[in-house]
C-alpha cells in the first residue's frame, strides 16, 4: 500500500509519536478544534474532570498533516488507535484535508463522538475555562495543556481565537 496521511490538531502537532517522512500545514473543513472532551484521566478525574481537545462539527481547523510511509501503516494505525481510542470518545475517520501546497488528500483523523458520555458539548470560552481551571490528571495540570497547545499553535503561525480566549481566562498573565 502507498503512503498515507494523518491529521493532527492538538497534541499530535507537538508529539506525534510515530515515524513520518513529511509534515505540512493543512486545513480540515467541516470540523473545528474544541475543548469538548471531558478528561477523567490525563487532565482531570471523574470527580473533577478537565477538558481536552476534540474535532467537533462545524467550521474548519488548521493543523498539521503527517505523511507516513505505506510500509508503516499497520504499526502507525495500531499506535494511533492505542493512543486515541482508549475510551472510544473519538471516532477514526478518513477525511479530505487541503495541504498548504494546495493539494487535497485523505487523512486519518479522530473526531469526537457526540454520543459519548465524555462529550462536553459546545462550550463557550468562559464555560471551558471554568472546567479547565484547577483540573489535574495523570498527565498534569489542565491549564498547562491548554497553554502548551496554544504555544505550539502560535509557533506554527496558527491562530485559534476561541482557544486564545480560553487561555486568557484560565491564565490572564500568561498570554498576550
Helices 142-155, 161-170: crossing angle, 10 deg rounding: 140
The CA distances from residue 99 to 43, 65, 96, 105, in Å, are 31, 7, 10, 7
- The x, y and z cell numbers of residue 78, run together, are 495500531
22 is catalytic: no
User: Is 168 exposed, middle or buried (CB count within 10 Å of its CB: 0-12, 13-18, 19+)?
Assistant: middle
**From the candidates 22, 47, 82, 84, which is the catalytic residue?**
84
- Contact of 48 with 86, CB cutoff 8 Å: no
**E strand or H helix at 63:** strand 50-68
Q: Which three cell numbers stand for residue 65?
A: 498533516
Catalytically annotated residues: 84
Amino acid at each position: 500500500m502507498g503512503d498515507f496521511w494523518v491529521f493532527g490538531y492538538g497534541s499530535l502537532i507537538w508529539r506525534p509519536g510515530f515515524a513520518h517522512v513529511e509534515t505540512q500545514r493543512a486545513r480540515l473543513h467541516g470540523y473545528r478544534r474544541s475543548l469538548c472532551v471531558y478528561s477523567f484521566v490525563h487532565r482531570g478525574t471523574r470527580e473533577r474532570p478537565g477538558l481536552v481537545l476534540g474535532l467537533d462539527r462545524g467550521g474548519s481547523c488548521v493543523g498539521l498533516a503527517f505523511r507516513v510511509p505505506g510500509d508503516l501503516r499497520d504499526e502507525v494505525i495500531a499506535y494511533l488507535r492505542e493512543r486515541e481510542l482508549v475510551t472510544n470518545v473519538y471516532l477514526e475517520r478518513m477525511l479530505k484535508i487541503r495541504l498548504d501546497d494546495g493539494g487535497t488528500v485523505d487523512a486519518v483523523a479522530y473526531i469526537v463522538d457526540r454520543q459519548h458520555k465524555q462529550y462536553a458539548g459546545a462550550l463557550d470560552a468562559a464555560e471551558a475555562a471554568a472546567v479547565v481551571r484547577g483540573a489535574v490528571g495523570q498527565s498534569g495540570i489542565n491549564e498547562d495543556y491548554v497553554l502548551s497547545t496554544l504555544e505550539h499553535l502560535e509557533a506554527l503561525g496558527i491562530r485559534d481565537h476561541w482557544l486564545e480566549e480560553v487561555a486568557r481566562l484560565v491564565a490572564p498573565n500568561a498570554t498576550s
